[in-house]
Structure 1
Amino acid sequence: MVCLTGGNVAFAQQNAYEEVLSRFIGEHKYDIEKPGALDGVQAPDFSAETIVGKSVSLASLKGKVIVLNFWFIACKPCKLEVDPLNEIVDKYKNKDIVFLSIAREKQEDLLQYLAANTFDFQTIADPKAFIAGDVFHILGYPTTIVIDRIGKIRYYSLGGKINEDAVRADFKRELIPVIDEHLSKDMK
């Protein structure tokens, strides 16, 4: 189950996010991935259940750093990211960070796939791409977003690499420094 969080605050956050996204249209739509393009933009809130039945919302995770990963089973670049992302989860296992994956799949398909393929993120089934499409307006897969302790986007990466070594190098150069920076900051 997936829904936008109710109330005027969530609606205002969604509108602010969509207002920023409106700058990235037409031939400029992929400028969204340029460093800093979404830096400091309030992430839109949503609530959902993970495939194991745990309720989660971005609002309930305030105070933690959040790493969102949007993917789907048949996506080869998505699969290349899994082991490097699992290594990052292991690196930060005792830190104030939450790893959520949002998969464009039915829950039953995810449960079956993840029984044979380890992905250490908490996973949300999003078969109709509500969170990916209607809330975050994801343009491609995989997409990874880091949200800081106060709910602002600090990292946005669209698309994948051609091999795991390239993924690890990219994460080491870009993703891990953002996580480290925002884990070390207090909520302000």
Structure 2
Amino acid sequence: MHRRHFLHTLGALGTAGALGSVGGRALAAGPIKGAAEVDDSALAGMSGGRLSAWRGATPAFTLDGLDGRAHALSEWRGRVVILNFWATWCGPCREEIPAMGAVARQYRQRGLALVAVNYKESLATVKPFVDKVPIDGTVLLDTDGAAYKRFDSLGLPATYLIDRAGNARFWRMGELQWSDAGLHGHIETLLTQKGGTTA
């Protein structure tokens, strides 16, 4: 069983019904197709349990962005993606935004992208927040929570590392220590892998 840290579990905040099954996809046995170049289980141990290897298919989604356009996750094929689910009311989410943005900037020229998916809040709520606390990536609106639910997440923030071929490889429930050497090792490894085409 993967060790998890829940800083803001949604059930405790009265959002029952928004939860997926208990990490079913992530806990399913067997390696990800096309991920043979890396021992994901061994890499996940580098961060002292901060990240777990993802198992199973990567859910697809298309969501509206703050730019008014619809964006599919597949748009970032060919890049390594930090996929982060967050909300304005989530304290740990707010706290990690600057450090997460710094990591996105650090590796951007090498092909890292940050996709920050807001959980079940309106444009009228999210836009003023982002104006005050800029997020150094693409902000998408999961207004009904459907995309979040497909990832079987149980709390916020929830972060997934997706490789260039569009496969989720690692995940974390709860705030990440963005200066962690293990996390940077995961990102470095995924950036050196080939796969997919640049969107």
Partner of 1:114: 130
Write the mapping of 1:36-185 to structure 2, written as runs, cut at 5 A. Answer: 36-39=52-55, 41-104=56-119, 105-133=121-149, 135-160=150-175, 167-169=177-179, 172-185=180-193
Partner of 1:14: none
2-structure distance, mates of 1:106, 1:131: 15
Q: Structure 2 stretches of 5 or more lacking a match?
A: 1-22, 30-48
Give the fraction of aligned pairs with identical amino acids, expressed as a percent: 21
Give deviations 1:85-141, integer Å, cap 9, x for gaps.
1111210232222210111211121111111111112111113211112x2121111
Give deviations 1:60-97, integer Å, cap 9, x for gaps.
32211111001100111111111111111210232222
Highest RCO, 1 vs 2 (Cα 8 Å, sep ≥ 6): 2
CA RMSD in angstroms, aligned pairs only: 2.4
Q: Is the 8 A contact 1:65 1:97 kept in 2?
A: yes
Match of 1:186 among 188, 194, 197: 194
Partner of 2:35: none
Letter in structure 1 aligned against 2:61: F
From the two aligned structures, give the one with the greater helix fraction: 1
SS at match of 1:94: helix
Q: Structure 1 stretches of 5 or more lacking a match?
A: 1-17, 25-32, 162-166
Which stretch of structure 1 is more off in the superposition, 141-150 or 89-98? 89-98
1-structure distance, mates of 2:51, 2:106: 24
2-structure distance, mates of 1:56, 1:119: 17
Letter in structure 1 aligned against 2:139: T
Q: Is the 8 A contact 2:25 2:57 kept in 1?
A: no
Q: CA deviation at 1:36?
A: 4.3
Q: CA deviation at 1:175?
A: 2.3
Q: CA deviation at 1:160?
A: 2.1
Letter in structure 2 aligned against 1:75: C
2-structure distance, mates of 1:112, 1:37: 35
SS at match of 2:71: strand
Q: Is the 8 A contact 1:100 1:122 kept in 2?
A: yes
SS at match of 1:168: coil
Q: Is the 8 A contact 2:85 2:156 kept in 1?
A: yes
